[in-house]
Amino acid sequence: MASELIDVLRHLLGDPPERRPLEGIDAWWARHGEAAAPFSTPVARAFAGGFAADRVGYAFASGYAEALASLVPPLTGLRAALCATERGAAHPRAMETRLEEVEGRYRLVGEKGFVTLGAHAEELLIIASTGSDDHGRKRLRVVRLPGPGAGPLRDGMRFEALPETPFVPEIPHGKLHLEGVRVERDEVLQGDGYEDYLKPFRTVEDVHVHAALVGWLVQVGRRHGWAREHLEALAELACACFALALVEPLDAAAHVALGGLLGRFRSVVGALDWSDVAEEERALFERDRPLFEVAGKARARRLDTAWGRLGRLSLPG
């Protein structure tokens, strides 16, 4: 693993930085695959995808794809999407989509309101409830089904394109309708849908998306002659992302370290000098900059919880 970190740093700091325009999701995916091919770990592939991107949106998409590959390794090399959001939230309490068993067969009923990559997603990880436990908490499972990007949808599945978002509009989103969709037993993934998938993904996504953004920023900075201290700070962030990608994502100490990483990222980005960057590229960055603050409140709550857990762990027995 340490040798791949060195390979990543040499790639970001030594290989020629280029901004080759990308026209759409298919072009991004082809570029990502080409850039990521020399690397074996998802986080290294995220760095490479970001370094090859021409804007924030496609760097984000590279990080998102590799985060899912880190969570579910068979998704490596596939455009996948985690389908969790319902009624504007992705908390277990919001999950109304149901995985029902009828006469020995499974079926999905419900809808997901915000599916990243939209109609381009080849694989879907759908969070669904199988009922409630004795304490009234929903039991969640994950169902893996082919998405619209893989071909015709299964009977009962319907995809609805959503309007472009104000920032990173190049990344499409869709609403997924599930009307009694047939599910095979081997399409229901092992493990708890919340503890083993949804909860850790929040951390895994943060790490891999920021890895890709660091890769993209290094490319921009090297093309425009940013001061060495800025590139050194980005290299420092790259090391932190790589390290956090290899640890248990639910560990409280890892959450505290991630909080430090995200704070440092904001500080480094705030100190960058964009005055010599071409107006078009600078305008795209300013348009997409709100992406960096998405889910900020949820991150703050997770960080507070992590500090609380560490405090309890440190109490004398």
Beta bridge partners of 203: none
**Which residue's structure tokens are 């071909």?**
151
Report in angstroms the alpha-carbon separations of 88 from 74, 91, 167, 178, 181: 28, 9, 18, 17, 23
What whole-number distance in Å separates Cα of residue 206 and Cα of residue 52?
19
What's the one-letter identity of residue 260? G
Nearest to 99 by CA among 89, 112, 109: 109
**SS3 category, 157:** strand
Are 44 and 4 a contacting pair, CB within 8 Å? Answer: yes
Write the burial class of residue 203 (CB in 10 Å: 0-12 exposed, 13-18 middle, 19+ buried). buried
What whole-number distance in Å separates Cα of residue 217 and Cα of residue 221?
6
Beta bridge partners of 178: 110, 157
**SS3 category, 110:** strand
Q: pTM for this structure?
A: 0.95
- Class for the domain spanning 80-188: mainly beta
Nearest to 262 by CA among 231, 297, 312: 297
| Average pLDDT, 10 consecutive residues per value, the chain (317 residues) | 90 96 96 98 98 97 98 97 83 86 90 95 96 83 96 95 96 96 95 95 96 98 96 98 96 95 96 91 94 87 91 60
What is the domain partition of the chain in residue ranges? 2-71+196-313, 80-188
The 3-state secondary structure of 115-130, one letter per residue: EECHHHCCEEEEEEEE
What whole-number distance in Å separates Cα of residue 214 and Cα of residue 219?
9
Residue 266: both structure tokens together: 């904001």
Residue 53: both structure tokens together: 């991107």
Residue 177: both structure tokens together: 């309708």
List of residues 6+ apart from 77 with CB closer than 8 A: 33, 69
What's the one-letter identity of residue 58? Y
Res 294: pLDDT: 85
Report, in angstroms and rounded to the nearest whole number, the Rg of the chain calculated over CA atoms. 20
Res 166: pLDDT: 95
CA dihedral for 19, 22, 25, 31, sign (positive or negative)? negative
